[in-house]
Chain A
Amino acid sequence: MAQAGKGKLNYRCPSCFMRDLDIDMFYDRDKREYYCLRCQFTGTEEKILKWNELVRLRYGAMNKRITKFDFD
Chain B
Amino acid sequence: MSDFIVNIIHRPEMVPEYSATVTGHGKKEDIGDKKLLTESLDIFKTQQRVAHENGLKVTIQMTYASLFNEEAVQIAKDDHEKFGDEIALSLLGLPCEQFRKKYKTKDFCIWMFSMEDKKAIVNDVFEKFHDAFGFYPESTGSYYLDAELINYIKEAYPSVKCAVATCWEEGPKAYHTCNNSWYTFMDGGPWAPWIPSKVNTHAPAANEAEDSGIVAIPHLSRDLLACYDGNGSNFGTHPQNVLRGMIYDSKTWEFPYLFNLIDQYRSLEKYNNGYAYNMMFVGPGWMNKMGRWEAPYELLEKSYSEGCRYYGDLKKEGKLLDMTMAEFADYYRQKKSYTEPECALWRDILYGSDKQLFWYCDPYMRAGVNMDQGGAIFDLRPYAAKLEWPIGIGTDHIQDASYPFLIQEKYRAGYFTHYAGEGTIRSAKVCRGGEEVDLCLTRTHAHFAEEKVLGENGKSKAGAKRILTLDPVDIEFCDLTVKLQTVITFEEGSGEIRIDRKILEMSDPDAEIEIREYMVACYGTTEYTENMTGITLGAVDEAGCRQYIDYEYKCRDLAVPGAECVSASVPQIKTKVSMRSSGGAVGIVREGYAFSPMFTLGFNKNVRNKEVFTTWLRLEREN
Q: Chain A's nearest CB lies how many Å from the CB of B199?
A: 33
B32 adjacent to chain A (CB < 8 Å): no
B254 adjacent to chain A (CB < 8 Å): yes
**Across the interface, do A10 and B291 meet the contact criterion of CB distance under 8 Å?**
yes
Q: Is the interface of A mostly helix, strand, loop or mixed?
A: loop
**Across the interface, do A71 and B26 meet the contact criterion of CB distance under 8 Å?**
no
**Across the interface, do B259 and A65 meet the contact criterion of CB distance under 8 Å?**
yes
Closest A residue, CB atoms, query B296: A9
**Across the interface, do A23 and B356 meet the contact criterion of CB distance under 8 Å?**
no
A38 interface neighbour in B179, B291, B447, Cβ under 8 Å: B179
**Across the interface, do A20 and B351 meet the contact criterion of CB distance under 8 Å?**
no
Within A19-42, the residues touching B (CB, 8 Å) are 20-24, 38
Q: Measured between alpha carbons, how far is A53 from B256 in the docked complex, in Å?
A: 17
A70 adjacent to chain B (CB < 8 Å): yes
Q: Chain A's nearest CB lies how many Å from the CB of B239?
A: 15
Q: Measured between alpha carbons, how far is A67 from B261 in the docked complex, in Å?
A: 10
Q: Measured between alpha carbons, how far is A11 from B247 in the docked complex, in Å?
A: 16
Closest B residue, CB atoms, query A26: B25
Known A-B contacts A10-B22, A69-B347; the reply to A62 vs B257 at CB < 8 A is: yes
**Across the interface, do B350 and A62 meet the contact criterion of CB distance under 8 Å?**
yes
**Across the interface, do B246 and A20 meet the contact criterion of CB distance under 8 Å?**
no
Stretch of B60-68, B170-178, B399-407 lying at the A interface: B170-178
Known A-B contacts A12-B294, A60-B351; the reply to A70 vs B179 at CB < 8 A is: no
Contact-residue bracket for chain A: 20 to 34
B456 adjacent to chain A (CB < 8 Å): no
B230 adjacent to chain A (CB < 8 Å): yes
B349 adjacent to chain A (CB < 8 Å): yes
Closest B residue, CB atoms, query A55: B246
Q: Chain A's nearest CB lies how many Å from the CB of B247?
A: 6
B294 interface neighbour in A11, A23, A38, A64, Cβ under 8 Å: A11
Residues of chain B lying within 8 A (CB to CB) of residue A48: 294
- What 0/1 pattern do residues 246 to 272 of B give for CB contact below 8 A with A? 111110001011011001100100100
**Across the interface, do A71 and B351 meet the contact criterion of CB distance under 8 Å?**
no
**Across the interface, do A69 and B173 meet the contact criterion of CB distance under 8 Å?**
no
Residue from the set A48, A60, A70 with the largest chain B CB neighbour count within 10 Å: A70
**Across the interface, do A71 and B256 meet the contact criterion of CB distance under 8 Å?**
no
Q: Chain A's nearest CB lies how many Å from the CB of B26?
A: 6
B447 interface neighbour in A11, A64, A72, Cβ under 8 Å: A72
Known A-B contacts A21-B179, A63-B249, A65-B259; the reply to A6 vs B25 at CB < 8 A is: yes
Contact-residue bracket for chain B: 35 or more
Known A-B contacts A38-B179, A52-B250, A56-B246; the reply to A71 vs B25 at CB < 8 A is: no
A1 adjacent to chain B (CB < 8 Å): no
**Across the interface, do B347 and A70 meet the contact criterion of CB distance under 8 Å?**
yes
Residues of chain B lying within 8 A (CB to CB) of residue A70: 267, 270, 345, 347, 447-448
Residues of chain A lying within 8 A (CB to CB) of residue B356: 71
A20 interface neighbour in B26, B231, B267, Cβ under 8 Å: B231
Residues of chain A lying within 8 A (CB to CB) of residue B290: 10
Q: Measured between alpha carbons, how far is A49 from B293 in the docked complex, in Å?
A: 12
**Across the interface, do B250 and A12 meet the contact criterion of CB distance under 8 Å?**
no
B445 adjacent to chain A (CB < 8 Å): yes
Q: Measured between alpha carbons, how far is A70 from B244 in the docked complex, in Å?
A: 27
Q: Measured between alpha carbons, how far is A15 from B610 in the docked complex, in Å?
A: 53
Residues of chain B lying within 8 A (CB to CB) of residue A22: 177-179, 231, 244, 293
Residues of chain A lying within 8 A (CB to CB) of residue B334: none
Residues of chain B lying within 8 A (CB to CB) of residue A11: 293-294
Q: Measured between alpha carbons, how far is A57 from B598 in the docked complex, in Å?
A: 36
Q: Measured between alpha carbons, how far is A5 from B22 in the docked complex, in Å?
A: 11
B161 adjacent to chain A (CB < 8 Å): no
Residues of chain A lying within 8 A (CB to CB) of residue B263: 66-67, 69
Q: Chain B's nearest CB lies how many Å from the CB of A50?
A: 11
**Across the interface, do B26 and A6 meet the contact criterion of CB distance under 8 Å?**
yes
**Across the interface, do B26 and A5 meet the contact criterion of CB distance under 8 Å?**
yes
Within B6-59, the residues touching A (CB, 8 Å) are 22, 25-26
Q: Chain A's nearest CB lies how many Å from the CB of B572?
A: 29
Within B192-213, the residues touching A (CB, 8 Å) are none
Q: Chain B's nearest CB lies how many Å from the CB of A33?
A: 16
Q: Measured between alpha carbons, how far is A67 from B244 in the docked complex, in Å?
A: 24
B292 adjacent to chain A (CB < 8 Å): yes
Interface residues of B (CB under 8 A from A): 22, 25-26, 173, 176-179, 230-231, 244, 246-250, 254, 256-257, 259-260, 263-264, 267, 270, 290-296, 345-354, 356, 445-448, 471
Interchain residue pairs with CB less than 8 A apart (5): A20-B230, A71-B347, A71-B354, A71-B445, A71-B447
5 cross-chain pairs, A with B, having the tightest CB-CB distances, nearest first: A60-B352, A71-B445, A61-B352, A69-B267, A66-B260
